Amino acid sequence: MSIFTGAGVAIVTPMNQDGSVNYDKLGELIEQQIAGKTDAIIICGTTGESSTLSHEEHLECIKYTVEKTAKRIPVIAGTGSNCTDTAIYLSTEAEKYGADGVLLVTPYYNKATQNGLAEHFIRIASAIQIPAVLYNVPSRTGCNILPETVIHIAKEAKNVVAIKEASSNISQVAKLAALIREENLEFDIYSGNDDQIIPVLALGGKGVISVLSNIAPENTHNIVQAYLDGDIKTSLDLQLQAISLIDALFCEVNPIPVKAALNLMGMNVGGLRRPLTTMEDVNQAKLKKAMEEYGIL
């Protein structure tokens, strides 16, 4: 059974002026997302600046989100690491807090072999009972999980139930979908790219783990829902209407633009942890123009 179907938000981590985590603002964002029909909250992922949170902050964000969401929609905790033992620790703690699942990024920098990737994910999954979602984003990690490796992991660790596919390689997603069908596995694919929601849905995907949802939750939900309801035209119209905005949201490394967008909308989510820096003026102007054309400014 899927952890969620639809659009899950890869939510930002709001910061106070002194750089500390702003939990009150995080609570506001969670409420706005639920009101906006978001189908799941993904906390402490890439967009949540997990790589610059301390372990204490990381776990407190997960705990806070689980408690604030109160089972109204699923909470998936980003607990991946390039250290297997650290990922196990974060994952077991997230399970104790009541997270509905964990999101496990490929080990960055180490660049493990396919055998190493399989062992890494199987060890983490074996330490918990809740579902795990693999996260494939080679552009950030330097490491790609091949479809055959995903299938091996899913067979060996039954609670590895899905993948967030952000490789941008639709041919690879198609091969994975074919192998899932061939092996008769219950295994879900989520788009990790907002500009590829419909292509992944067309290959049997269950939805998207989205950056766009931070600023347009209902529209992102509707892209998926319309497609699943069989209204392909509406889904396509919504996807294409968002392309310029999506492009602007990734004109600098995520989450620089989406935090800038939220601040432009008056959400006051604060700044970024270094080494991420304030958005360049020319790109901020591009983002603002795209938001105005999309109708959210």
- C-alpha to C-alpha distances, 225 to 78, 240, 274, nearest whole angstrom: 25, 15, 37
For the record, the structure tokens of 67 come out as 């408690």
For residue 164, indicate whether it is catalytic. Answer: yes
CA distance 156 to 272: 39
Q: Answer yes or no: are the C-beta atoms of 62 and 97 closer than 8 Å.
A: yes
For the record, the structure tokens of 6 come out as 């639809």
Q: Answer yes or no: are the C-beta atoms of 44 and 79 closer than 8 Å.
A: yes
Cis peptide before 275 (omega within 30 of 0): yes
CA distance 9 to 209: 6
Catalytic residue among 164, 206, 259, 286: 164
Looking at the chain, which runs of residues are DSSP E strands?
A: 6-10, 40-43, 75-78, 101-105, 132-136, 160-165, 188-191, 207-210
CA distance 76 to 87: 14
- C-alpha to C-alpha distances, 267 to 27, 64, 151, nearest whole angstrom: 12, 19, 41
Coil, helix or strand at residue 227? helix
Residue positions counted in the chain:
297
For residue 135, indicate whether it is catalytic. Answer: yes
Catalytic residue among 135, 190, 227, 294: 135
Catalytic residues: 135, 164
